[in-house]
Amino acid sequence: MKETLISILLLISSSALADLKLVQTSFWQTVYEDNFNFKLINDSKELRKECDFFSSTIWNEQGEEGWLDQQTFEFINSSSLPGDMLNRSFYIEFKLNIPSNLTIIEDLGLSPQVQAIVSNEQKKDLLPHFTQLPVEMKIHDSSFFSTPSVTLRENKSFSRIAQKLNLKLQKVKLVRRGSENLVIVLDKAIACDLLNNSVNLNLTAKGEVKILFANQVRLTNIYSSYQTLIEKAFNISQNTHIRAALIGAFLGNDSSLRENMNNDHGISKLTKLLNQLFDMEKMTPSQHWTNGISGKNLSVTGTSPLVDIYLQIDGPERGD
């Protein structure tokens, strides 16, 4: 199938970092942004010419709407581009210029806004080094093969005329093919509206946030040391009271925990840690222990759970 490609440049919006949220794993939390903008760059002169012709059948030179019947509109809307000899109906692919690894923000932790939120949250941390600076954010590949919604931005649009004529336009698709990320449009009306900035595309996608690898290692070492102490206590006795006493003795040797016991916040931190590590009634490993090759362990990942992010794809700059 012959493909007409139109590039889309990924641009972080001018209001970037205005919408910041927190995402948590069992052992850390960090900050992420959930709104992103894409900008369409038109490099198809053939499509532009087709859109100009399509426009001339609907609006006169003064921009006044003339009369166009449903059948004629539908015929023009569904006709393939003149140079496309293989597609019998309209088909065009818009290429999303996102890196093949789907990273949409690098060095997120350098933002003053992000740093301020992290600094404030760290003062309230109850678990060791719980609030972390983010490093990067990626779109998860599960976001592809999704259907963006088409939102009218201007009254004068091909999509509005289609609605007026009671014509249902086909859905736009976001797909990933190899390392390419594509928007597929099957209606000339929507393609032309994108070029004219008369509509934009909106999509709720999935994203994931990463923390610095060195900090992941640091947390891994902290919880590995706790795991060693806990396993030692559990191997000595099955009795819940003896286990509790042994763990108390072992953790009491941790100088950082012992120093924090002089204030309410320190006591809250220790209580939170114990609840993180154990089912306090049964004195068994908590739900935060995961199954590994050698049994249950406290596994610290450097990647967040999937979060909702909102993508908007706009048309090109005027005159592009």
Round to whole Å and give the CA distance between 255 and 23. Answer: 30
In three-state secondary structure terms, 10 is strand
Taking CA atoms, 224 is separated from 190, 227, 253, 260, 295, in Å, by 55, 5, 16, 21, 14
Three-class HEC string of 214-279:
HHHHHHHHHHHHHHHHHHHHHHHCCCHHHHHHHHHHHHHCCHHHHHHHHCHHHHHHHHHHHHHHEE
> Using one digit for the tens of pLDDT, what is the confidence trace for 31-51?
999 999 887 766 677 898 999
Beta-strand relationship, 92-97 and 149-152: unpaired
pLDDT over threshold 90, residue 284: no
Task: Give dist(CA 198, CA 216) in Å, integer.
Answer: 45
Residues 3-31 pLDDT 10s: 444 444 343 333 344 589 999 999 999 99
Rounded CA gap, 310 and 289, in Å? Answer: 32
**Mean pLDDT of the region 92-111:** 86
pLDDT at 9: 39
What's at 224, amino acid-wise? S
Amino acid (1-letter code) at residue 25: T
pLDDT for 253: 67
Nearest to 204 by CA among 158, 149, 241, 135: 149
Indicate the average pLDDT of the chain: 84
Q: Taking residues 254-280, what's their average pLDDT?
A: 72
Cβ(187)–Cβ(289) under 8 Å?
no
d(CA 250, CA 115): 35
Predicted confidence (pLDDT) per residue in 116-165, tens digit: 999 999 999 888 899 999 999 999 988 888 889 999 988 889 999 999 99
Give 95-129 as a 3 state SS string.
EEECCCCCEEEECHHHCHHHHHHHHHHHCCCCCCC
High-pLDDT (> 70) share of the chain, %: 87
Contact predicate 94/8, CB 8 Å: yes
Bridge partners of 307, per DSSP, are: 207
Residue in the structure block whose two tokens are 């900035």? 197
Decide if 240 contacts 283 (C-beta within 8 A). yes
